[in-house]
Structure 1
Amino acid sequence: MELIMKVGPAAVLRLNPLDDVLIARRPLVAGELLEHEGVTVREAIVAGHKVASRRIEAGQPVRRYGQIIGFAVADIEAGEHVHVHNLAMGEFARDYAFGVDVKPDSAPGESPTFMGIVRPDGRVATRNYIGILTSVNCSATVARAVADHFRRDINPGALQAYPNVDAVVALTHSAGCAVDPAGDGLAMLRRTLAGYATHPNFAAVLVIGLGCETNQIDSLLSTQGLTRSDTLRTFSIQDTGGTSRSISSGISQVKELLAEANRIHREPVSARHLTVGLQCGGSDGYSGITANPALGNAVDRLVACGGTAILSETPEIYGAEHLLTRRAVSREVGEKLIARIHWWERYCERMGAELNNNPSAGNKAGGLTTILEKSLGAVAKAGSSNLTDVYEYAQAVTAKGLVFMDTPGYDPVSATGQVAGGANLIAFTTGRGSAYGCAPAPSIKLATNSALWARQREDMDINCGEIAEDTLTISACGAAIFEAMLRIASGERSMSEQHGYGQNEFVPWQIGAVT
């Protein structure tokens, strides 16, 4: 998807010569002449929203980025606001053109380095946590109590002797029982827990169960090929003798793990060891213009030196999937992606929902009208690299380069799947403002507009809004994002980490009946 930004004098952006809409760079007032476009604004239009660049008859497709974002439901005159009142979804054919835009393979270029933690098995970590996981919701309170004992803000002395341990975190969830023991829902939960239990950012993991749940710890381990060890410990509340004894046991076991977990050092490692999960949340009309393409530029830099990026949020590529299939390295990879799209169509039909239920209210307030429009902006996070493979939720990512993982669009659920798959860093773009973190993988926040940067500076790591102001290029911003990835992977704390985000954002995807 070619992004061509022609600037009408400080007022609007034209993203592609084929577009029927212009994007307001600032609030537009009725009667204002967009001289460069020869269009007079007919009504007040909020910054980030769309104004018609020509007359569009009812039923005609409307294009942004040179792609269809919906169909006019009424005649739209040049200069009118184009949004939910006159633009809606519609059916149209996509040309999947599998692989036609695949670039020739090339050897990874000279790789920059970051200061990583090399585990005994050779995997590379960006953080050094001790994790407490739960097999079921019933053991969540005990797990939280164990982790709270080691919180530096509650008990400053608990980790004083272990400066190389980032934290002890409890990642709890609301599932694990009253589900089909042979169903997809439990299988997905187990796959997610296994991905976290073996994540390189955990020096050690303690799994706590209740004892009578469907998700028995022994079955969790056996189905996922895991075995107990000094660094993967388990116990249940019922066998231990209740809540108080279980909390005491958990605290004692974590204390036994701390000394060894502290014996790490950082050393220079190639950026090819980075696996970055790509997220966008609280998107707005600028997301597909600034932060997302800038992140895509950073992704291309990462892939060029042998690293991995995970694009996800299947409902948020709906309508733009044909732009990815064109870059699929094989027809098989492209068809795997389309199979996931069709699964979502059937899933929504069964649930009485529509894929266009996404965008959210905040997305629409920020200028996005349909899921087609949102998807075309969201897919820009993937840059221009080849699509090398497609994974189901929480599957271990083994391919290098740009890959896709099937997840919902809801950010905590999506990022949880990416981290379970091996992401050791998250890059998260936002236009409306987002409060999010992701233990054990640090999360970098990228603001799509300068107003957000000024308003919510304490939550943002990089301002991409300058791209829309012509004071920063996409390439320069992409370089800055890539450098931030290396710094934060080396141990520099992101803004979300400084605020303590990460434990509450562990949200495994729950599908299937709860009985």
Structure 2
Amino acid sequence: MKDLLVLRDGDDVAVATRDLAPGDEATTPDGRVVVARGDVPRGHKIALVDVAPGAPVRKYGQVIGVTTTQVGVGEHVHSHNLVFDPGERETPLGGVHTELTVPDGPRPTFRGYRRADGRVGTRNYVAILTSVNCSASTAKMIADQFPQSVLDDYENVDGVIALTHTSGCGLVPDSEGGQILLRTLRGYAAHPNVAGLLVLGLGCEMVPGAALSARSGAVTDLGMPGIGAPDRDESSALLAAIPGDTVVRSMTIQDTGGIRATVRAGVDAIRAMLPEVNARTRTDCDVSELVLGLNCGGSDGYSGITANPALGWASDRIVAYGGTSVLAETPEVYGAEHLLTARATRPEVAKKLLDQLEWWRSYMAAGHGTLDNNPSPGNKAGGLTTILEKSLGAVAKGGQADLAAVYDYAEPITDRGFTFMDTPGYDPVSVTGIVAGGANVVVFTTGRGSVFGCRPTPSIKVATNTPMYERMSEDMDLNAGRIVDGTASVEDVGAELLAKILAVASGEQTVSEELGIGAEEFIPWHIGAVT
């Protein structure tokens, strides 16, 4: 592999594939030799041409910022001489279409749990879902009574998990934040990876447990704005159907007689569920039943070169087969939104994404920040300088497929194809929204080494570079760094990743599942007033 990667013809910078010291000669794929004028860490950018002060710098064929000083060939290009500049970008409302094809031969399948509503689960969990933070400790006490040793007799039960959070009361239920919380909790209650559900409340909270455990068609007037009110815009999202074969129980601590009595009653309720949940078995399901969540965290200079394009390849293949993928993290597509809006199937789809970005500009301004407060210090240590550069690499996770739909946070994902969901860039909050929407598998790419799980949905972690993979191999499921090493192509790794997705969907455990990680990463997005 050459010392430098040039990602597009006409780029002003290349990416170093090894640490460069002053005076080192580095070679590009087309044979150009560049002499490093200073230290350039691997994954960081080195100038290929002289760039005047205040001039734009291009990577991926797109502007990633402007220089603050004269930059000469061979200089390290980073935060000391490159800054964010919003510039002007055309944002077409569609017009770009990519025809996706699939290879001849049998369609891929996986072994999943088909639910009564037709959706397919990749796991078979019993979930204890708290309506309010006041019941969180009790929920954990109940879940602690079901370690793996207790579940050994139930081979089709993946676990008993407590899904707790920090809200549910002290908020304005009819507010944007209140509606987001309700959508999120309802999404988890109705998730196809949940076969048994115990909704646990305190008894006096603003979010009643009945608002989460009622089945479709059974909700009338629960005393909550947006619940049982068909004329409200949010009602369709809030009334996401719990599958008819999900075993559902609910209780409150106050009515049951306190914490100890509730733990006893909760344990009894779950024990009674286990045989019925265990009776569910896997069956052959078409690849089109996959709803793939796309996320990244701890990104570095290789993310947009290795793991993200490989995930984009796998996403395109799933979409071509009629499945669904979901990109998210709205602040981390800023600067690359034009690449998504151009692919929108309808102008209103593109406009919704632009509206969401406008909301984020206002939201950040109200908090005395800007969208360029991202990248994080870890991102910058890994070679990413501006949000424009980070976003251009992040959208590669979405491949080339047409953009079929744009969703609000935790809104049920009903369209097939490549879609987008409005979420923050903060990993657990972002993935919580995607899972609430119905994702039954998540792929999480990382360059710095994020250790992330998201039960009840399995999280496949993909390393962007080989040194990190070798250092943290017990926490990674796949190494995409081989693309930079020159031992595999993007298509090679994409095909391996698709095979891994199908295997995990069929029950193969991810490393985060082996460690029992995922319940603490359930973090609904909280915005708005707390009273």
Find the residue that maps to 2:442 and give its secondary structure: strand
| Correspondences of 1:427-442 after superposition (within 5 Å) | 427-442=443-458
Separation (CA, whole Å) in 2 of partners of 1:212 and 1:37: 70
Measured against aligned partners, the alpha-carbon deviations of 1:171-221 in whole angstroms (never above 9, x if no partner) come to 100011111121111110110000000111111111101111121223455
Aligned residue in 2 for 1:473: 489
* Distance in 2, Cα, partners of 1:431 & 1:43: 24
Question: Given the superposition, is the C-alpha separation of residues 343 and 470 from structure 1 closer, same or farther in structure 2, using an over 3 Å criterion?
Answer: same
User: Could you report, residue by residue, the CA deviation over 1:247-284 in whole angstroms, capped at 9, with x for unpaired residues?
Assistant: 11110110111010000221211000000100100100
Q: Deviations over 1:480-503 (max 9, x none)?
A: 000000000000001111111111
Whether the 8 Å contact between 1:108 and 1:304 is mirrored in structure 2 is no
- Structure 1 residue 287 displacement after superposition: 0.3
1:148, CA displacement in angstroms?
0.6
Deviates more, 1:214-223 or 1:421-430: 214-223
State TM-score, norm by structure 2: 0.92
Between the aligned partners of 1:90 and 1:454, the Cα distance in structure 2 is 36
SS of the residue corresponding to residue 449 of structure 2 reads coil
Q: Does 1:162 align with 2:154?
A: yes
- Separation in structure 1 between the aligned mates of residue 209 and residue 332 of structure 2, nearest angstrom: 34
User: Within the alignment, does 1:25 sit opposite 2:17 as a pair?
Assistant: yes
| Structure 2 residue matching 1:429: 3-state secondary structure | strand
Partner of 1:182: 174
Alignment of 1:281-300 (within 5 A): 281-300=297-316
**What is aligned with 1:338?**
354
Deviation at 1:118? 1.2
Aligned to 1:75: 70
Is it true that 1:58 corresponds to 2:74 in the alignment? Answer: no
Q: Distance in 2 between matches of 1:429 and 1:160?
A: 32
Distance (Å, rounded) in 1 between the aligned partners of 2:516 and 2:381: 29
Change over 3 Å in CA distance of 1:212–1:316 after alignment to 2: same
- Counterpart selection for 1:324 from 321, 325, 340: 340
Deviation per CA, 1:324-360: give whole Å up to 9, x if none. 1111101111111111111111110111111111111
Match of 1:216 in 2: 208
Paired letter, 2:204: C
Please show how residues 413-432 of structure 1 align to structure 2 within 5 Å: 413-432=429-448
User: 1:227 and 1:21 mapped to 2: Cα distance?
Assistant: 51
- 2:38 aligned counterpart, secondary structure: coil
The answer as to whether partners of 1:108 and 1:305 remain within 8 angstroms in 2 is no
1:441-466, CA deviations, whole angstroms, 9 ceiling, x for partnerless residues? Answer: 10101000000110000011111001
User: Structure 2: how far apart are the matches of 1:429 and 1:34?
Assistant: 28
Q: Which moved more, 1:390-399 or 1:51-60?
A: 51-60
- Change in Cα spacing, 1:464 to 1:512, as seen in structure 2 (3 Å) is same
Partners of 2:102 and 2:11 lie apart in 1 by: 37
Give 2:230's aligned residue. Answer: none
Tell me the residue number matched to 1:144: 140
Question: Partner of 1:3 in structure 2?
Answer: none
1:108 deviation in Å?
Answer: 11
Matched residues in 2 for 1:428 and 1:82: separation? 28
Q: Distance in 1 between matches of 2:179 and 2:116?
A: 29
CA contact (8 A) 2:189 2:242 kept: no
Partner of 2:8: 16
Following the alignment from structure 1 to structure 2, what is the Cα–Cα distance between the partners of residues 294 and 53?
26
After TM superposition, give the deviation of residue 34 of structure 1 in Å: 3.0
1:60 Cα deviation after fit? 0.7
Q: How many residues align?
A: 503
Query: Gaps spanning 5+ residues in structure 1: where?
Result: 1-6
CA distance in 1: counterparts of 2:118 and 2:399, whole angstroms = 29
Deviations 1:365-401 (A, max 9, x none): 0000011100000000000111000000000000001
Whichever residue aligns with residue 489 of structure 2, its letter is T
Q: Distance in 2 between matches of 1:159 and 1:461?
A: 25
Distance 1:356 1:186 in 2: 28
The C-alpha deviation readout for 1:98-147, integer Å capped at 9, x for no partner, is: 22212358899853101111123322110000000001111000000111
In structure 2, the residue matched to 1:45 is 40
Work out the CA distance in 1 between the residues paired with 2:471 and 2:193.
32
- 8 Å CA contact 1:336–1:390 kept in 2: the answer is yes
Amino acid at match of 2:459: S
Question: RMSD over aligned Cα, in angstroms?
Answer: 1.6
- Aligned partner of residue 144 in structure 2, secondary structure: helix
Change (3 A) 1:108 1:480: closer
1:111 to 104, 107, 111: 107
Matches of 2:377 and 2:129, distance apart in 1: 33
Q: What letter corresponds to residue 140 of structure 1 in structure 2?
A: A
> In the superposition, relative to structure 1, how do residues 498 and 514 fare at CA in structure 2: closer, same or farther (>3 Å)?
same
The alignment partner of 1:69 has SS state of strand
Report the Cα offset of residue 39 of structure 1: 2.5
Cα distance in 1 for partners of 2:86, 2:393 equals: 19
Q: 1:108 to 1:474 in 2, by over 3 A?
A: closer
CA distance in structure 2 between the aligned counterparts of 1:191 and 1:108, rounded to whole angstroms: 38
Q: For 1:240-255, list aligned pairs within 5 A.
A: 240-255=256-271
Question: What's the counterpart of residue 383 of structure 1?
Answer: 399
SS at match of 1:468: helix
Separation (CA, whole Å) in 2 of partners of 1:227 and 1:427:
25
Give distance in 2, aligned partners of 1:17 and 1:170: 51
Among 237, 242, 245, the residue aligned to 2:253 = 237
Give the deviation of 1:58 after TM superposition: 1.2
Distance 1:478 1:227 in 2: 34
* Structure 1 equivalent of residue 502 of structure 2: 486
5+ long unaligned stretches in structure 2:
220-226, 228-237
Identity of aligned residues (%): 50
Structure 1 counterpart of 2:172, which letter? Answer: D
Distance in 2 between the 1:426 and 1:210 partners?
32
CA distance in 2, matches of 1:159, 1:367: 45
The reply to whether residue 202 of structure 1 matches residue 194 of structure 2 is: yes
